Structure 1
Amino acid sequence: MAANDLLLTLNAGSSSLKFSLYKAQPELSMLAHGQVEGLGDSPRLQAELGAGTRLQQSLRHDAAVGDHELALQAILDVLTHHFHGEVLSAVSHRVVHGGPEFAAPQLIDAALLAQLERFCPLAPLHQPHNLAGIRAARAAFPEAHQVACFDTAFHRSHPFVADTFALPRRYYEQGIRRYGFHGLSYEFIARRLRELEPERALGRVVIAHLGNGASMCALRGGRSVASTMGFTALDGLPMGTRCGQLDPGVLLYLMSEHRMDPAALSDLLYKNAGLKGLSGESHDVRVLQASGSPAAREALAYFVDRGRRELAGLAACLGGLDALVLTGGIGENAAELRADLLADMEWMGLRLDPEANQRGQALISHPDSKVHIRVIKTDEERMLAEHAAELLWA
């Protein structure tokens, strides 16, 4: 790659398309970033293009064309106008599910795309949109390298006991196993923690990625050894609209007594459960905190209770804790929820500094806390860029 070549990252979700543009060499430096939100409803583009230039604009909704394609075209139009003459050498894509095969970033070709299509039923909110973004980028940049980075890849280091279900072994061999997700976020945090506290980073660490999608991951030596998410992104913690841990007998009951088919169950568990379902109001923690209704308070209390259970369980897997990192929209910003999550946890070595927490400092553990508690802003786009750079020219 030449020194003036550019690297674009795309993070396609169910209702958004995030992007960042980097100058590739001599070292990665961000030139622009932004996102298109509201896909499927009222899409709007927000971007920061360097030198204080900010852009906001509404986009037309056209289901016949596909909102992700329209979003990508809008992003490309903006970048072409502001970075005319620069060469785009690579596009790095977040792909939620890489199945059991992929434990590292991969160059994308038609055969890989066909393989990734098979995992759409395992991540229906994300995988189809990830692949739509790849197809649109391949059409727009036929000469550029296209790189797939998998959210599941970071968890392929799990031991068997953290990777399997108590089902007949043949199902494990067929790919029914605990994959774990949010891997790009966890890997970014693990790398940054290593820069901040190298000794603790190589010890026993739990990272809590708390947002509309929520999970926790246990790391030893900087490698994932257990995660709260499993076969799909439904398991573990309750989320904005997803149920989290659920007795499978509930599903059997809903199928037999309520006559719910797979489509109805999917709609319930992915889109109408979690904080939204419990509160009957919203999936957004900020809205629920402002509401103060009994149902909103109970929904938040359930979120905290399950989080405390999962945190303790992961600490047990590690045999103790050296560091806890909170990240994601809730983990980074919701001081009150952080305080509730960590209240009376000194028996685990976790002692929060209330003032540091309220001020939103980077280190929020009390000086006497045996476990360091940090808040680190995650950056999946940066991780996508680092992976592509390492794959293509490291």
Structure 2
Amino acid sequence: MAHVLVLNAGSSSLKFGLFVKGDEPQALATGLVDRIGGAAQLSLRNAAGERMLDLDLPPDQARDHHGALHAALAEIEARFPDAQVVAVGHRIVHGGRDFADPVELTLDVIAQLQALVPFAPLHQPHNLAGVQAAMAEFPHARQVACFDTAFHRSHPFVNDTFALPRAYYDKGVRRYGFHGLSYDYISGALRQMAPTLHAGRVVVAHLGNGASMCGMLAGRSLASTMGFSALDGLPMGTRSGQLDPGVLLYLLEQEGMDAPEISDLLYKRSGLLGLSGLSHDMRTLEASDDPHARQAIDYFTFRIRRELGGLAAALDGLDAVVFTGGIGENSARIRHAVCAGMGWIGIEIDEDANAQNATVISSDLSRVRVLVLATNEELVIARAAGNLAG
């Protein structure tokens, strides 16, 4: 029996999964190595989502993504010794202008993706490190890249450009959008469960440590809150979100900061962490009585509401809103704060359904349907890798 391995490497984490190859891949096990570079932990769950393993990794395996991958593969091999991995699917954050579909990772493709590291410096190197490690572990398997930017290549020019001299657009300075694998999954889920909504105007809010929103028309991306980088749009766990470029000039000229210092500030010390001075984790902030935690939550929900209005304008109206991602799927408080007082745009939620994390949380009076759907990026990758493996 042929199998597909999925690797989703983040800046300090590695999600992975083993799937039975088929028309619709079936998960055998999914796992996560979290806090790579520190006190890393490996967790593994079976197809039913039941816990199989929680393990603290030793320092040599916790140090980097190579060690994390070896630890993950060792656990997979121990439990599924007969697995025949014919393809490895990789999440690649940045596909640039040219990669709008999954592709097999040849040496030429890898070189092109290496050239995109300056576009996603905190993500692309880890994605490609996972590719190199998997090629060494599975030299005879097809290695397949699935891009977070690909879903947004359908943007019209006005949602793809900045008002800079055209030469920069031609060099690749444009709005790429991210979280595309998540949006791809939600689009497919809507096609299956609510085809009428899928054919209409939908805003999807992918809310987690990384957060963005996407306006979809007939299941295709029309506009996204993220732009040139994964910094733009909504505030995130440690990332700033939308920022006046004049602030960067001030930091350079008046604060004497250089590019690495600004990068560290915007990617690692801003967002919910910077605003609260407490934590990047929404669960910690919601449990806190600290007024700064409340202000961080208020800013987060304010920006979501503001972007929701903008995306509705870009779509010429609104038929549905979908919450997904770790916060979107689990925080009734955030969903309530986003939707409260939005009757003017057609949103009325059922508070009991919202508190229960129901799939449909809009009330019978709501013109706009509001849903909560769990995303599954790994399944999207498994499908693409299996298809390219033949």
Q: What band does the TM-score fall into relative to the shorter chain? A: over 0.9
**Residue 314 of structure 1 aligns with which residue?**
311
Secondary structure of the structure 2 residue equivalent to 1:319: coil
The aligned runs of 1:129-278 (5 Å cut-off) are 129-278=126-275
Structure 2: which 5+ residue stretches go unaligned?
none
Q: Judging changes above 3 Å, is the alpha-carbon distance between structure 1 residues 121 and 143 closer, same or farther for their aligned structure 2 residues?
A: same
How far 1:61 moved relative to its partner?
2.2
Match of 2:286 among 286, 289, 304: 289
How far 1:27 moved relative to its partner?
3.9
Distance 2:293 2:163 in 1: 35
Distance 1:46 1:372 in 2: 35
**Residue 77 of structure 1 aligns with which residue?**
74
Aligned residues of 1:153 and 1:183 also touching (Cα < 8 A): yes
Secondary structure of the structure 1 residue equivalent to 2:60: coil
**Residue 102 of structure 2 aligns with which residue?**
105
Distance 2:381 2:12 in 1: 19
**Residue 61 of structure 1 aligns with which residue?**
59
Aligned residues of 1:61 and 1:67 also touching (Cα < 8 A): no
**Residue 302 of structure 2 aligns with which residue?**
305
Q: Number of residues paired by the alignment?
A: 389
**Residue 327 of structure 2 aligns with which residue?**
330
Aligned residues of 1:8 and 1:91 also touching (Cα < 8 A): yes
How far 1:391 moved relative to its partner?
2.8
Distance 1:149 1:292 in 2: 41
| Partner deviation per Cα, 1:290-335 (whole Å, 9 max, x = no partner) | 1121111111111111110000000000011111100001100010
Distance 1:281 1:357 in 2: 27
Match of 1:36 among 9, 21, 33: 33
The aligned runs of 1:81-100 (5 Å cut-off) are 81-100=78-97
Instruction: Give the RMSD, CA atoms, in angstroms.
Output: 1.3
Match of 1:9 among 3, 6, 9: 6
Distance 1:346 1:10 in 2: 41
How far 1:53 moved relative to its partner?
6.5
Structure 1: which 5+ residue stretches go unaligned?
none
| Partner deviation per Cα, 1:28-63 (whole Å, 9 max, x = no partner) | 111111111110001111112458661122112238
Aligned residues of 2:86 and 2:389 also touching (Cα < 8 A): no
| Partner deviation per Cα, 1:136-187 (whole Å, 9 max, x = no partner) | 0000000000000000000000000000000000100000000000000000
Distance 2:205 2:22 in 1: 32
Aligned residues of 2:202 and 2:318 also touching (Cα < 8 A): yes
1:378 aligns to 2:382 (yes or no): no
Aligned residues of 1:279 and 1:299 also touching (Cα < 8 A): yes
| Partner deviation per Cα, 1:340-383 (whole Å, 9 max, x = no partner) | 01111011111111111011100000011111100000111011
| Partner deviation per Cα, 1:242-271 (whole Å, 9 max, x = no partner) | 000000000001100000000000000000
Distance 2:344 2:24 in 1: 44
Which has the larger displacement, 179-188 or 83-92? 83-92
Task: Determine what percentage of the aligned residue pairs are the same residue.
Answer: 55
Structure 2 letter corresponding to 1:62: D
Structure 2 letter corresponding to 1:179: Y
Distance 1:139 1:361 in 2: 44
Structure 1 letter corresponding to 2:59: H
Structure 2 letter corresponding to 1:55: L
How far 1:26 moved relative to its partner?
5.8
Distance 1:191 1:14 in 2: 27
1:339 aligns to 2:336 (yes or no): yes
Distance 1:53 1:306 in 2: 36
| Partner deviation per Cα, 1:210-242 (whole Å, 9 max, x = no partner) | 000000000101100100000000000000100
Secondary structure of the structure 2 residue equivalent to 1:62: helix
How far 1:389 moved relative to its partner?
2.4
Distance 2:219 2:51 in 1: 38
Structure 1 letter corresponding to 2:323: L
Distance 2:51 2:209 in 1: 29
Distance 1:352 1:50 in 2: 32
**Residue 128 of structure 1 aligns with which residue?**
125
Which has the larger displacement, 17-26 or 4-13? 17-26
How far 1:390 moved relative to its partner?
2.9
Q: Judging changes above 3 Å, is the alpha-carbon distance between structure 1 residues 166 and 53 closer, same or farther for their aligned structure 2 residues?
A: closer
Aligned residues of 1:150 and 1:184 also touching (Cα < 8 A): yes
**What's the TM-score once normalised by structure 2's chain length?**
0.97
Match of 1:24 among 13, 21, 24: 21
